[in-house]
Structure 1
Amino acid sequence: MRPRDGEVLHFSEDPTIARFVPHVAPTSVEGEAYVWGVGFDRAPDYWFPRQCPRAMAWVEDTTSDVDRERIVGAGCGVRVHAVEFGWLEAMRTVKLFAYRLPAAPFRVIGAERHAMVATETVEPLGPPEKVGDLFDLHAAAGIQLRVLPSLWPFWDEVTRSTLGFSGIRLRNARPAKP
């Protein structure tokens, strides 16, 4: 589930949104009201239940061969996502929807260019689409999906590596052991 040319996506468990009104997200470090969307490259970051903590890493041009083999694995593609065992049932059963939004009102935000925002109300291009099986999505995209007892050891390795990375909803992860 990725946007087509001229679109961004917004993922939600709510299939009843008729229009997206800018707001300040409770978890945002941004103070301005936005409608949030994602482009093609970052759409896989949202193939999860909304509150699910996830740690993600991918190979970049500057990634060392050592880090790629150590973290991603030799011959295992260029991207890996990790979740905790406690989220498996939610991954299996969540009803996730993607809203296709026109890209024109959106601009990239953040140094990492991780998301796109609009400052005006945006109406979907059509009804929301069921995202489907999240495991199948990862497999079809060639993205490893790891299930771990805790995200923190993986996160610590990833953030010290030369890989690109992102963590979403990490506050919902199991506490790190002291």
Structure 2
Amino acid sequence: MRPAPGEVLHFSEDPTITRFEPHVAATARQPEAYVWAVDRARAPDYWFPRQCPRAMAWVEPTTSARDRAWLGVERVHAIEFGWLRRMQTATLYAYRFDVRPFRPFGDPPNAHVATEPVAPLGAPEAVGDLLALHEDAGIEVRLMATLWPFWHRVAVSTLGFSGIRLRNALPQPT
């Protein structure tokens, strides 16, 4: 499930949203109100139940041979064992938007934001089997007892990486 050219997506477990209003998320690091969406490259980061913590890593052109060998594949999305059942049973929906009201956010961009209310281009689409989406995209899903060793390793590597909802991960081992 990826956006078509000229589109961005918003993923949600709520299939009833008809209009998206800018808001400041409870976990926001910036004070501005936004509607959030993602482009084709970042869509796989959201093929998860909303609250699922995940640590993601991928090979970049500047990734060292050592880090490439450690990762073993082009892209990995890691979750904790406790989230597997939810990953298998969640119903996730994609809302499509025209990209024009949105602008890239972050450096490098990791999302798109709109500062005005936006309506989806149509009804939300059920995303389907989340693990199958990863498989079809060639993204390896790794199950871990805890995300923290993986996260700490990728955060100091030459790999591209991102963590989402890490506050929902099991506590870091001491």
2:34 equivalent to 1:48: no
Name the CA distance, whole Å, in 2 between partners of 1:112 and 1:26.
Answer: 23
Residue 22 of structure 2 corresponds to 22
Residue 153 of structure 1 corresponds to 149
Structure 1 residues without counterparts, runs of 5 or longer: none
Deviation at 1:51, TM superposition (A): 0.3
Residue 65 of structure 2 corresponds to 65
2:76 equivalent to 1:80: yes
Residue deviations 1:65-117, cap 9 Å, x none? 110111x21xx3x1110000000110011010000011001001111311100
**Aligned-pair Cα RMSD in Å:** 0.6
Residue 34 of structure 1 corresponds to 34
Name the CA distance, whole Å, in 2 between partners of 1:160 and 1:30.
Answer: 25
Residue 6 of structure 2 corresponds to 6
SS at match of 1:174: coil
- Report the TM-score, using the length of structure 2 for normalisation: 0.99
Residue 109 of structure 1 corresponds to 105
Deviation at 1:148, TM superposition (A): 0.3
Percent identity reads: 65
- Report the TM-score, using the length of structure 1 for normalisation: 0.96
SS at match of 1:80: strand
Name the CA distance, whole Å, in 2 between partners of 1:49 and 1:29.
Answer: 22
Residue deviations 1:26-79, cap 9 Å, x none? 111111000000000000000000000000001111101110111x21xx3x11
SS at match of 1:157: helix
Name the CA distance, whole Å, in 1 between partners of 2:116 and 2:65.
Answer: 43
Runs of 4+ in 1 over 3 A off after TM superposition: none
